[in-house]
Amino acid sequence: MNDSDTEEKTEQQYAYEREQIEKMFPNAKFEIAIDFEELDDVITDLSTIIIKNTYDCYCYCYDMCKRNADYFYITATNGEKMTNKFIIQELIKQGLKLNCNHVFVEGFYKSKDSDCQFEIWIGS
């Protein structure tokens, strides 16, 4: 591994990438904390998935008012791939809002509950 492989982004690079993400997703009701280079990563080869948002913040967000999970059904058509970018665009269209202190979507991970279900990795 050479030095360029481990080199951190400059503030200018980071600012440029954040600006590009904001332009890509102007209607998001959450912050996208997925690295710019990972937006085109394919999450699964499935053409239909379910995204589950559990509202089970670890500390304090929903302790006093528990909420049931929300489920978002996402289908890729016309040769689209289930990339981070595609999933985010679909969640925006379906009205995902993060109304707590954890507003950063950091990624998606396969749920232990189902082969086609993924959960949102959310941070603050």
pLDDT in tens, 37-60: 999 999 999 999 999 987 665 555
Residue 37: per-residue pLDDT: 94
Q: Assess whether pLDDT exceeds 60 at residue 6.
A: no
Q: What is the pLDDT of residue 56?
A: 63
CB 99 within 8 A of CB 93: no
- Number of structural domains (the chain) is 1
Q: Can you give the length of the chain in residues?
A: 124
Yes or no: say if 44 and 81 are a contact pair by the CB < 8 Å rule. Answer: no
Partners of residue 42 on adjacent β-strands: 83
- The whole-angstrom separation of Cα 34 and Cα 25 is 12
Contact (CB, 8 A) for 69 and 52:
yes
Domain around 23 = 3-123
Question: Which residues are within 8 A (CB) of 86 and not within 5 positions of it... i.e. 6 or more apart?
Answer: 74, 76, 80
pTM recorded for the entire structure: 0.83
85 within 8 A of 39, measured Cβ to Cβ: yes
Q: Residue type for 27, please?
A: N
Give residue 16's identity as a one-letter amino acid code.
Y
Q: What is the pLDDT of residue 70?
A: 87
**What pLDDT is attached to residue 69?**
82
| Least confident stretch, 25-34, 57-66, 98-107 | 57-66
